[in-house]
Structure 1
Amino acid sequence: MKIIANQDGIGTSKFDLYLYKVLYLLSFRKSKWLEKQIVQIAKDLEAIKNRKVF
């Protein structure tokens, strides 16, 4: 899994989000790091979705 930094911000995919969610569920919701990563990826995807192109 690679997170690619570019000029527009952080490039993430929905696949990464789903993968982290599955890993989080398999860890019986005990991993704080995975929880933080899920929140961060969700914010990045929302920012990309709401980005305006001029």
Structure 2
Amino acid sequence: MAHGLKIVKTPLPVIAWQRVTNHLTGYAASGISIIAIMVFSSKVTGVDNIS
């Protein structure tokens, strides 16, 4: 009984934490892609754009 209730009822902090981690992973993925594009463009043009 208790195990079933634990599965059905998810605490709000857990939901909030999952949303935060989803946002953080999204920001990290976009940041990594931007850095990769900057590095790639700097290698193609031969100019170091990252300061």
Smaller-chain TM-score bracket: 0.3 to 0.5
Normalization by structure 1: what TM-score?
0.45
Higher relative contact order (CA 8 A, sep 6+): 1
Larger radius of gyration: 2
Greater share of residues in strand: 1
Normalization by structure 2: what TM-score?
0.47
